[in-house]
């Protein structure tokens, strides 16, 4: 009997002890949750095409500020640079887009069916009118938040042009004449037009920007309708590769145009060894940091035909859209609203050295003097985004490189462009039908 009583008491004691331990564990777990357990934490995936260090630093600073105000939300920033488009294409095909991502010029045409409508947000009342046709449709849907707006043209060494008494060119003929003056006065020591052709897309950028004044802006040479309906005669494109080849034959390009690396460009410009180049907004500040005596200007793309005006090329540059199928859509929109606060929008626009896409944000800009000088010039959209099927950017790059390498004639370049234009249009039509 005593043995039975002892056994029962032991069991009771053990149960009490286990209960106490479990209670203690629960209290400990409770304390742990309050002090930072990620059990209920939301992590937003964020992808951007931004690649400059100061741009990424600005975003990461905003990430930190947002997380401090919203301790239950973390942001996982991704800046994959050159692999961005391929990464997003794969994720789009599997309907697994990031919570937040940059639409890089394709907000409506490529990502339109995948992004949430942001029209109910406070900042949507402050769209710059030049951004509305790009990021807003006739039904009022807002496809993305505009971080900035592009005004691409040609960067030039304003100090050098002044020393050589060269007027900033407004036409293609004036531009070639200016480069010839640089070539002759500098006796071959300065590259009139410097191209980092190690990345073929740099050549594609030039051809894309110059396509607009060749095929769109001049009233007598406007082929918008034909380009859009597929009936465009590509012999009208011949003049562009002919001009690029002319520049090469006249020694107006750097001799290593096919192999030069973009990392060299700022250093060379800071040494007054470049006159003109096609570059992004961070280029000017980078040069000034190396040599404050060299002033970098920005000019619109010259007109091809007499009577036409130069063109800024741009519109949508960097954006943030929210995936409509995101499991964290509410939190994603919270971040966009935070990013759109004037102090944050100003910080990120200034980091990109481009104007903000919102009218209530007064961002200082490195090229403000030049944008003001050319404020009467209309901003034209990127040519390939409006008039060419998806995939033609690669064709621009490869045909341009082959032209400079001597593998293709200007006429053959136009033929390849036509073949790929028709093929990609047909593929796009088939995908739409499916």
> What pLDDT is attached to residue 3?
36
Report which of 278, 313, 316, 318 is spatially closest to residue 383, judged by C-alpha positions: 313
How much is the pLDDT for 7?
Answer: 39
Q: What is the pLDDT of residue 386?
A: 87
Positions in the chain whose pLDDT score sits under 70 = 1-39, 430-434
Look-up: residue for tokens 């011949």?
238
CB 310, CB 167: distance < 8 Å: no
- Residue 270, classified by CB atoms within 10 Å of its CB into exposed (0-12), middle (13-18) or buried (19+), is buried
Dihedral in degrees, nearest 10, Cα atoms 242, 246, 248, 249: 130
Alpha-carbon span 394 to 89, nearest angstrom? 15
pLDDT reported for residue 83: 85
The confidence score (pLDDT) of residue 24 equals 42
In the chain, what percentage of residues exceed pLDDT 70?
90
Tokens of 402: 């082959």
**pLDDT confidence of residue 374:** 93
- In angstroms, the CA 37 to CA 140 distance is 41
Helix-, strand-, coil-residue percentages of the chain, each rounded to 5: 50, 15, 35
pLDDT score for 259 = 96
Predicted model pTM: 0.77
Contact 179, 373 (CB under 8 A): no
Q: Which helix (H) or strand (E) holds 359?
A: none
Q: Kind of pairing, strands 274-277 and 191-194?
A: parallel
Q: What is the pLDDT of residue 433?
A: 54
| 3-class secondary structure, 52 | coil
CB 326 within 8 A of CB 99: yes
Answer for the pair 60, 77: CB distance below 8 angstroms, yes or no: yes
- b/e per residue 206-221 (b: at least 16 CB within 10 A): bbbbbbbbbbbbbeee
The angle formed by the CA atoms of residues 219, 150 and 372, to the nearest 5 degrees, is: 80
Structure tokens, 211:
């396509």
**Would you put residue 146 in left (φ > 0), alpha (ψ -120 to 50) or beta?**
beta
């Amino acid at each position: 009997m005593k043995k039975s009583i002892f056994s029962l008491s032991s069991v009771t004691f053990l149960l009490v002890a286990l209960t106490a331990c479990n209670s203690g564990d629960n209290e400990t777990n409770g304390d742990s949750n309050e002090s930072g357990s990620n059990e209920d934490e939301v992590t937003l995936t964020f992808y951007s095409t931004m690649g400059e260090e100061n741009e990424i630093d600005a975003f990461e600073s905003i990430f930190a500020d947002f997380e401090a105000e919203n301790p239950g939300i973390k942001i996982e920033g991704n800046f994959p640079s050159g692999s961005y488009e391929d990464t997003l294409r794969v994720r789009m095909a599997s309907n697994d887009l990031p919570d937040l991502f940059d639409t890089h010029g394709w907000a409506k045409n490529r990502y339109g069916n995948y992004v949430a409508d942001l029209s109910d947000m406070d900042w949507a009342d402050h769209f710059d009118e030049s951004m509305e046709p790009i990021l807003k449709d006739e039904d009022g849907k807002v496809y993305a938040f505009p971080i900035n707006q592009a005004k691409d043209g040609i960067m030039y060494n304003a100090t050098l042009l002044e020393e050589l008494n060269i007027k900033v060119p407004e036409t293609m003929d004036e531009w070639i004449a200016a480069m010839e003056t640089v070539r002759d006065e500098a006796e071959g020591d300065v590259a009139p037009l410097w191209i980092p052709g190690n990345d073929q897309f740099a050549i594609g950028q030039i051809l894309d920007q110059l396509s607009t004044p060749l095929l769109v802006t001049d009233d007598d040479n406007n082929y918008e309708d034909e380009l859009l309906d597929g009936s465009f005669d590509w012999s009208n494109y011949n003049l562009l590769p002919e001009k690029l080849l002319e520049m090469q034959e006249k020694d107006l390009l750097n001799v290593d145009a096919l192999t030069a690396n973009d990392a060299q460009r700022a250093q060379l410009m800071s040494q007054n060894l470049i006159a003109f180049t096609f570059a992004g907004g961070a280029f000017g500040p980078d040069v000034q940091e190396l040599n404050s005596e060299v002033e970098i200007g920005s000019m619109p793309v010259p007109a091809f035909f007499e009577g036409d005006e130069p063109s800024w090329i741009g519109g949508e540059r960097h954006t943030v859209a929210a995936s409509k199928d995101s499991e964290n859509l509410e939190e994603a929109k919270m971040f966009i609203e935070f990013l759109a606060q004037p102090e944050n929008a100003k910080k990120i626009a200034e980091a990109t050295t481009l104007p903000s896409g919102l009218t209530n944000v007064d961002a200082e800009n490195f090229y403000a003097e030049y944008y003001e000088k050319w404020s009467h010039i209309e901003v034209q959209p990127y040519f390939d985004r409006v008039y060419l099927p998806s995939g033609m950017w690669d064709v621009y790059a490869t045909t341009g490189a082959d032209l400079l390498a001597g593998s293709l004639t200007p006429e053959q370049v136009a033929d390849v462009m036509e073949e790929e234009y028709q093929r990609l249009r047909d593929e796009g039509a088939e995908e739409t039908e499916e």
